[in-house]
Structure 1
Amino acid sequence: MARAISKVTVVILDLHVHTFYSKGRRIFHDGLASPKQMVKQAKRIGLDGISITDHNTTEGWKEARQYGKKYGILIIPGEEIDTVDGHLLALGIQETIKPGMILEDTLDEIHEQGGLGIAAHPFDIAGCGLRSFARLTDGLEAFNAMNIDRVINRKAKRFARRYSLPVTAGSDAHTTDMLGYGRTEVRANDVDGVLKEIKRGHTILHERYMPTHVILNYSVARLKLSYFYLLDYMDHNYKWPKRYVGKKILSLVDKSPGTIDYLFRIIAYLGLIAVSSYAMLREFLYLFKED
């Protein structure tokens, strides 16, 4: 298992971390760093521990254990599970829990392994969060540093208060540069202690939003690594002219780094403005509906 801290003390954790064991359906490469790289980065930036929560696999945290011992970083076993109802972080489990089950069955399997089920980015604009189903979980990720739609995190906190749910923060880090923006503080000396404190709601959240350029750099690197997978996906799933346009846009990635990065940044910032505007409208409608 991971290292235990010698006495009960304050520990700062990033509870949402991916490694290269995380794979995507369309864009194959999701996490880009190795478990060792993530652990070393955690040490470098002053974290006491991380939870490796790769998509639908526990291979990442199992590999990270040896490096946790070497670098003095507490490794909390984890997995981000694709349930039928949305994404769920499983903290403190030992074996992989298969995706594709309904939320209640997934939670049962997590609890059988002595873990906690935490709703990941429950109101994600991409639609992969649990939304109202989050009330059934053991806790809620009230701050996700990768959410460029900041209204989503405020909505998550309000939801947690309404249903008296414990809260956590996480970076949703997919590269070393993305680590440490969302941090959860607890008083504990080992994994069991961390889980107990989260369950009791004894957490303090440290929140910094991930800079747009960090997300942009990750997106470009991910597309580059997944280039041929994406071409194959387009060939099998896109019809003309969507396939033609998609390939033309993808070809721009090969020109990065370079002047094309200015275009990527413009697109990214325009996207940020669009998402933020949409989020403000949704928030207004949400508040109006509540009234």
Structure 2
Amino acid sequence: MRKKRYKYETHSHTSETSLCGQSSAEQLIRFFKNLDYTGVIITDHLYTPETVNLQDKPWEALVERHCSGYDIAAAVGAQIGIDVMFAWEYSYGWAHFLTYGLGKEWLLDNPDIFEWDIFTYFDRIHADGGRIVHAHPFREGVEHIHLFPSKIDAVEAINMGRVARYNRHARDFAVSFNLPQTAGSDIHLTIDSSRLGGVTSSERFSDTHDYMDAVLAGEVSLFGSNI
């Protein structure tokens, strides 16, 4: 008898938090539930206070805003029976890094995060038990590419928001530096189920630590046709 595979979205955005998000957290979670996914990782953009007009508010206000999409998604997931996990997407110019394994309390404890240089960010995330995936390292219209092969844990080799050749560049980058590969939809709008990417696993993940442990051990299968 064939063993069950658990299906996950690893890169998703909600309209409550991500300025680029077009579908609400509830729409997102119900969309994936209808497609029989096991779980969704919410990876909303982590914005500076200035970007979301919170520069005059306490740091806690920014963290609450950032977590709002996830909080709604998690509540809906608990109600309808789909796992929802928390992460975020950190930006260094046009280089974006999916950050897994840390939570709201970590963000609250690090109000100086936007004062760090990129190497400090990598080192602090890893020191506190987090993991970093370089999202869509090659993308259209970006001429100055930043790559940090010794500082990341894996490469998003399939991103369904990119054209195929840029995913091939990402895969070549991962292979060249012997880095594990992941896949994700980078979904912003829940209208097209034909453009989805993610991972499947023989084991169910209880949190994003489980997810990244499986990625690093080579125990996930990638799906997504855009390569």
TM-score tier, shorter chain, comes to 0.7 to 0.9
Separation in 2 of the partners of 1:129 and 1:20? 28
1:78 paired residue number: 87
SS at match of 1:77: strand
SS at match of 2:97: strand
TM (norm. structure 1) is 0.61
Structure 1 residue aligned with 2:199, among 180, 184, 189?
184
The answer to whether the Cα contact below 8 Å between 1:58 and 1:79 also exists between their aligned partners in 2 is no
Separation in 2 of the partners of 1:128 and 1:102? 21
Q: How far 1:101 sits from its partner (Å)? A: 3.9
Separation in 2 of the partners of 1:35 and 1:113? 28
Give matches, 1:150-169, under 5 Å. 150-169=164-183
Matched, 1:201 2:218: yes
* Structure with the greater alpha carbon radius of gyration: 1
Consecutive unaligned residues of structure 1, counting only runs of 5 or more, are 1-7, 24-28, 211-291
Structure whose residues are more often helix by fraction: 1
TM (norm. structure 2) is 0.76
Q: How far 1:164 sits from its partner (Å)? A: 1.3
The answer to whether the Cα contact below 8 Å between 1:188 and 1:194 also exists between their aligned partners in 2 is no
Give matches, 1:34-45, under 5 Å. 34-45=24-35
How many residues are matched?
Answer: 197
Identical aligned pairs, as a percentage? Answer: 26
CA-atom RMSD in angstroms: 2.6
Give a deviation string over 1:113-135, Cα, whole Å, max 9, x none: 43211001001123399642244
Consecutive unaligned residues of structure 2, counting only runs of 5 or more, are 47-65
SS at match of 2:191: helix
Q: How far 1:178 sits from its partner (Å)? A: 4.7
Give a deviation string over 1:197-256, Cα, whole Å, max 9, x none: 01223221111349xxxxxxxxxxxxxxxxxxxxxxxxxxxxxxxxxxxxxxxxxxxxxx
Give matches, 1:19-168, under 5 Å. 19-23=14-18, 29-56=19-46, 57-84=66-93, 86-95=95-104, 96=107, 98-99=113-114, 101-127=116-142, 131-148=146-163, 150-168=164-182
* Greater RCO, 1 or 2 (C-alpha within 8 Å, sep 6+): 2
Amino acid at match of 2:201: V
The answer to whether the Cα contact below 8 Å between 1:93 and 1:115 also exists between their aligned partners in 2 is yes
Separation in 1 of the partners of 2:219 and 2:153? 13
